[in-house]
Structure 1
Amino acid sequence: MSNKQKTIKNEVTLTGVGLHTGNKVTLTFKPAPVNHGYAFVRIDLEGEPIIEASAEYVVNTQRGTNLEKRGVFVNTSEHVLAAVVAMDIDNIKIEISAAEPPIMDGSSKYFVEALDKAEVIEQEAEREEYVVKEVISYKDEETGSEIILMPSEKYQITAMVDFGTKVLGTQNATLNSLSDFKHEIANARTFSFLHELETLLDNNLIKGGDLNNAIIYVDKEISRQTMLKLKKAFKKENLAVKPNGILDNLTLRWANEAARHKLLDVIGDLALVGTRIKGKVIANKPGHLVNTVFAKKLQKIIKHEKRNSVPEFDLNEPPLMDIHKIMSILPHRPPFLLIDRILELSDKHVIGMKNVTMNEAFFVGHFPNAPVMPGVLQVEAMAQCGGILVLSSVPDPENYLTYFMKMDKVKFKRKVLPGDTLIFKAELITPIRRGICHMQACGYANGKLVVEAELMAQIAKKSKE
């Protein structure tokens, strides 16, 4: 089975109204390059700002999962993201002409159909996947809502809902494979209880809502005043409560449509983790708050594990580049050449090595009686690995010099001592453009992370003088 990243071949557009604003909105799905991920583009604002679909940008979960980056908002993102995940897409641009995507019929159905028409295609790069090895959980003690993630051979989700009402009762839904989403989950519409609906109307919200894009469960007696308010809001002359406890004559697509929609929301909210998940999710009484808190927790766990994942190599094997090859590429020379070998190199990452010996020139003056490798030189060594990465992007690296532009989020975790073997790994954060390399770099010794930083360097042609 292929594990390549995927995007769409053609762009595709939908139009509708925002659920809460009632404003007309256009949404366009567009192809995106490898390692792009999911990102919303607000084409109605100056500069067309981008808001990546990441848990770190969740600002509130009232009436949907709402994202904000530098004052730019995207609201109720979950139905769109659920469709993108379910269609097995890794990289996509989602252009919208307002803060809210169109509500359509309150499900993911129309987004799935649009992506189907756009044609999902494979890309060259391998897909990253987080393999769950142990149980990860989060519980909201106040509400009893809980999400558990456990090992499984594939991404599976079970949602269990109980709102303590007779009209809805206890329901559950299970998705054993994302390939079943289109027929088993995508059509499940959002729902609300009458008491919630009254609050939304009182706050001048759901201007784009009607009885075709939300199931309304009547959990209380409807007063004459409330009925008049509902008729006005939904532009209906006649409204009634049917025997199944649903407002008007909307027909359920499944008896457990509410649980299926909650499962849909879980998929959309966990898309904000930013990585494919290989594991089983059990969500008890899920909601956008517990979903996104769990997404943030999982995102941090994945980042921590990735950062502390030490590259493993047989150092007795011949390296990809020895010191002579390195010196033919880098302009640095001893004692300021701080890497000895390059072990792995691609267009997106590099892994290098340095043996730290007592004979290093810097130990002469840096705590000669208690030698410790200076932190700034650890950063410089990582940058030199990055230099190999960026210089490998040009056909004549010997004609270029590398220059530091910026370092950020530098952290030193442990001392580096004589006798240590340092392994450096640098990965591109963004593609190399105009000779600028922006990368996340980490250094390891004795199986532990010792240094990390975000680095930016640029190459420039040597002067001919």
Structure 2
Amino acid sequence: MNIKQQTIQKAVSVSGVGLHTGVSATMTFMPAPANHGFKFQRIDLPGQPTVDADVDFVVDLSRGTTLEQNGARVHTVEHTLAALVGLQIDNALIQLDGPEPPIMDGSSIKFVEALQFAGIEEQNADRKYFEVSEFVHYRNPEKDIEIAALPLNDYRLTVMVDYNSQVISSQHASLNDLTLFADEIASCRTFVFLHELEMLYKQNLIKGGDLSNAIVIVDRDVDEDELDHLAKMLNKSKVGVNKQAGILNNLQLHYPNEMARHKLLDMLGDLALIGRPIKAQILAARPGHAANVAFAKKIKSLIQKNAQNQVPQYDPKQPPIFDINRIAQLLPHRYPFQMVDKIIALDESSVIGIKNVTMNEPYFPGHFPGNPVMPGVMQLEAMAQTGGILVLSTVPDPENYWPYLIGIENCRFRRNVLPGDTVIFRCEFTSPMKRGIVKMQGRGYVNNNLVCEADMIASLVKKK
């Protein structure tokens, strides 16, 4: 799984009719900055309101997942979100000039192809995974639905469907590697049983549905009169049934278990509404949109409960954003005052830096001899230098500026920092920059424990 966040390199569009609304629309995927997430934008409405792809904004689950926020509604978002998650894209603005993404062929493949054509770009920010650390379970006994998440240092999904149908036996589908999504899951189409079809039409759903964007499963005997009626309803001159396959109009399946694979696709899209990539093994029996969303809410509630305990994570095997040489090019500090060894994440509003504390630091012989403790002022200096990198990132030519620390407030030292410790500093803007002045909050962690924190004010001054 990716370490860094990703967006697309350029805008790309697809057009078509919406499955349930029947309204034609163009959907444009736009690049977005780090930590933006997925947002839909209804550019056909006054003010062009946005809708966050968040489980808190789900308002309808009638044969699809519908979001509403800021007076704007977006129908059937799951296939679009599945394409983004399946390609490990983290940030995108999805513009729509209608109420629903185009259904295309009923799968995610056209979206995947468009996104691949646009190109994928890595960003200077770590992915903010939520790692499931305990068994999470959802059950709907009335519909015999179960979904579970188990701890795993990866993201894998397994789905089982069973419709008690003579046409479709129990089916399983698995995705054990997201890089296989485009080839093995993305092309699997939505489906409906014949006994549901007329009911959906009467409920004013699937206005844009036809045999080019859905698999219709014939799960009972039909005579010629009913076939003629179906042909009229589907705007076809004639439809037939392959009785052996049980598929209307002799449509060929992409896979024997295409229905289970499509349910996995739906689940991948619905779980994107958690708002963060997750690490877990997902096991689902007979899932649907309502169950997927209920399960996503359980995961999101866990994330919110654990939010106060989350600290930046450091993997020394991953290459840094800036190494010690690049830091020296940006900051006006040299030994023994260059206090930051690596920058491992940097985006528009935050930065994460690493300070490896060794016994060779020049202040240890004179600071608490026999009981070496890193001076608080040095911790603060290392934090300020990390913040200096963030401040310099706001200008296109950082080598031409000096970052100055001009104010410190609410400074606290929580634990001793000792030789051998690795301090992870995270600084983030708490106010927009005005006339070269900006406020930041900085925190330092050792072994997941907060060791120091401060609110800082910095000034950015152009070199003369």
Cα offset, 1:70, TM superposition: 2.7
CA contact (8 A) 1:188 1:257 kept: yes
CA contact (8 A) 1:390 1:432 kept: no
Residue 195 of structure 1: aligned partner: 195
TM-score when normalising by structure 1: 0.71
Question: What SS class does the counterpart of residue 164 from structure 1 fall into?
Answer: coil
Q: Residues 138, 399 of structure 1: CA spacing in aligned structure 2 closer, same or farther, 3 A cutoff?
A: closer
Cα offset, 1:81, TM superposition: 0.5
Residue 166 of structure 2: aligned partner: 166
Amino acid of the residue matched to residue 227 of structure 2? M
Question: What SS class does the counterpart of residue 68 from structure 2 fall into?
Answer: strand
CA contact (8 A) 1:38 1:93 kept: yes
Residue 113 of structure 1: aligned partner: 113
Residue 186 of structure 1: aligned partner: 186
Residue 290 of structure 1: aligned partner: 291
Residue 274 of structure 1: aligned partner: 275
Paired residue total: 384
Cα offset, 1:305, TM superposition: 1.2
Distance 2:312 2:90 in 1: 25
Distance 1:428 1:64 in 2: 38
Distance 2:262 2:430 in 1: 35
Distance 2:227 2:158 in 1: 36
TM-score when normalising by structure 2: 0.71
Distance 1:21 1:438 in 2: 47
Residue 368 of structure 2: aligned partner: none
Q: Residues 3, 350 of structure 1: CA spacing in aligned structure 2 closer, same or farther, 3 A cutoff?
A: closer
Cα offset, 1:433, TM superposition: 5.8
Residue 304 of structure 2: aligned partner: 303
Cα offset, 1:448, TM superposition: 11
Amino acid of the residue matched to residue 99 of structure 2? A
Alignment of 1:82-231 (within 5 A): 82-222=82-222, 226-231=226-231
Q: How well do the aligned residues superpose, as a CA RMSD in angstroms?
A: 4.2
Question: What SS class does the counterpart of residue 182 from structure 1 fall into?
Answer: helix
CA contact (8 A) 1:212 1:250 kept: no
**Which ranges of structure 1 fall in alignment gaps of 5 or more residues?**
313-343, 352-384, 404-418, 450-454
Distance 1:221 1:440 in 2: 68
1:40-77 CA distance string (max 9 Å, x none): 11111112111111111111211101111132111110
Amino acid of the residue matched to residue 178 of structure 1? L
Alignment of 1:49-68 (within 5 A): 49-68=49-68
CA contact (8 A) 1:402 1:459 kept: no
**Which ranges of structure 2 fall in alignment gaps of 5 or more residues?**
314-341, 354-382, 393-400, 416-424
CA contact (8 A) 2:228 2:238 kept: no
Question: What SS class does the counterpart of residue 117 from structure 2 fall into?
Answer: helix
Amino acid of the residue matched to residue 8 of structure 1? I
CA contact (8 A) 1:161 1:172 kept: yes
Distance 1:251 1:16 in 2: 22
Cα offset, 1:206, TM superposition: 1.6
Residue 13 of structure 1: aligned partner: 13
Alignment of 1:211-360 (within 5 A): 211-222=211-222, 226-243=226-243, 244-309=245-310, 348=350
1:182-204 CA distance string (max 9 Å, x none): 11111100000112111111233
Alignment of 1:384-463 (within 5 A): 393=391, 432=432
CA contact (8 A) 2:159 2:174 kept: yes
Distance 1:288 1:64 in 2: 6
Distance 2:430 2:40 in 1: 17
Alignment of 1:65-80 (within 5 A): 65-80=65-80
Distance 1:458 1:223 in 2: 78
Distance 2:26 2:441 in 1: 36
